[in-house]
């Protein structure tokens, strides 16, 4: 059931108040229960997701229910407290899954700032997960991904440790987006970086094609 404006306001205010104090004991029962309420709601939604076999239908279900968490997300991020929050981290991935990359990155910025950990089932740290999931979405739906967003993900994860193969995926995705808009020079830069990081990144033919196009353009 969609949340009423009043309920959304309560969620946002409660989440912000939860973040204003680091000691759980300092909160009122009503305030401290807000995270637990969101966590229980997430558990219920994840249980229903397990009953859905189609990945497309899973994404549709996530898109259908995720707005129920938005007020809570806003409150947590506005509090800027940096307390570990598994609800928030799950929703970051959900936003990527449904193509809401800007909302995912809004959480991602906050998570990296405060070194929040990903829930155990994701088996990757936050920077690695953000880079890999964003890159994989972009490579599937390049026309739905902005170059500004991809470059921002690259910027905020550039100093983080992650497998070379993952960083190569991100550079490949950036290269594909530049290639889509016919920016050969920048596309070539990112494809070459992807190849340096991972010889099996699948960019060799793309590099050859672009270099040939650049050479033909210079010869004409």
Listed residues 94, 123, 152: the one ending a domain: 123
Q: Name the residue among 110, 149, 157, 151 with its Cα closest to residue 129.
A: 157
Q: Do 19 and 91 share a domain, yes or no? A: yes
Q: How far apart are CA 169 and CA 151, in angstroms?
A: 13
Q: Do 116 and 48 share a domain, yes or no? A: yes
Q: Do 150 and 70 share a domain, yes or no? A: no
pLDDT tens digits, one per residue of 121-139: 899 999 999 999 999 999 9
Q: Do 8 and 109 share a domain, yes or no? A: yes
> Which residue range(s) make up the domain with 70?
1-123
Phi/psi-derived region of residue 54, left when phi > 0, alpha when psi is between -120 and 50, beta in every other case: beta
Sole residue written with tokens 């650049």: 214
Instruction: Report the number of distinct structural domains present in the chain.
Output: 2
Nearest 5°: the CA angle 124, 129, 133 is 140
Q: Do 153 and 200 share a domain, yes or no? A: yes
> Given a cut of 80, is residue 5 above it in pLDDT?
no
Listed residues 123, 144, 179: the one ending a domain: 123
Q: Do 148 and 203 share a domain, yes or no? A: yes
Q: Do 156 and 207 share a domain, yes or no? A: yes
pLDDT tens digits, one per residue of 47-92: 999 999 999 999 999 999 999 999 999 999 998 989 999 999 999 9
Q: Do 180 and 75 share a domain, yes or no? A: no
H-helix or E-strand containing 48?
A: helix 29-50
Q: Name the residue among 78, 133, 132, 51 with its Cα closest to residue 100.
A: 133
């Amino acid at each position: 059931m969609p949340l009423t404006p009043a309920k959304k306001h309560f969620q946002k205010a409660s989440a912000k108040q939860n973040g204003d104090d680091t000691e759980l004991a300092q909160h009122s029962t009503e305030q401290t229960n807000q995270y637990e309420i969101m966590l229980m709601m997430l558990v219920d939604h994840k249980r229903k997701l397990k009953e859905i076999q189609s990945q497309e239908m899973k994404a549709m279900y996530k898109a259908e229910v995720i707005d129920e968490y938005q007020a809570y997300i806003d409150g947590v991020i506005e509090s800027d407290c940096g307390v570990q929050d598994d609800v928030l981290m799950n929703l970051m991935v959900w936003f990527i899954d449904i193509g809401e990359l800007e909302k995912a990155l809004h959480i991602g910025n906050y998570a990296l700032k405060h070194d929040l950990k990903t829930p155990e089932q994701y088996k990757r740290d936050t920077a690695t997960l953000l880079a890999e999931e964003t890159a994989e979405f972009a490579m599937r739906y390049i026309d739905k991904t902005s170059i500004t967003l991809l470059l921002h993900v690259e910027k905020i994860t550039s100093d983080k440790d992650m497998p070379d193969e993952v960083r190569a995926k991100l550079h490949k995705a950036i290269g594909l987006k530049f290639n889509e808009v016919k920016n050969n020079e920048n596309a070539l830069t990112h494809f070459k970086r992807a190849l340096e990081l991972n010889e099996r990144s699948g960019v060799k033919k793309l590099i050859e094609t672009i270099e040939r196009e650049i050479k033909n353009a210079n010869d004409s």
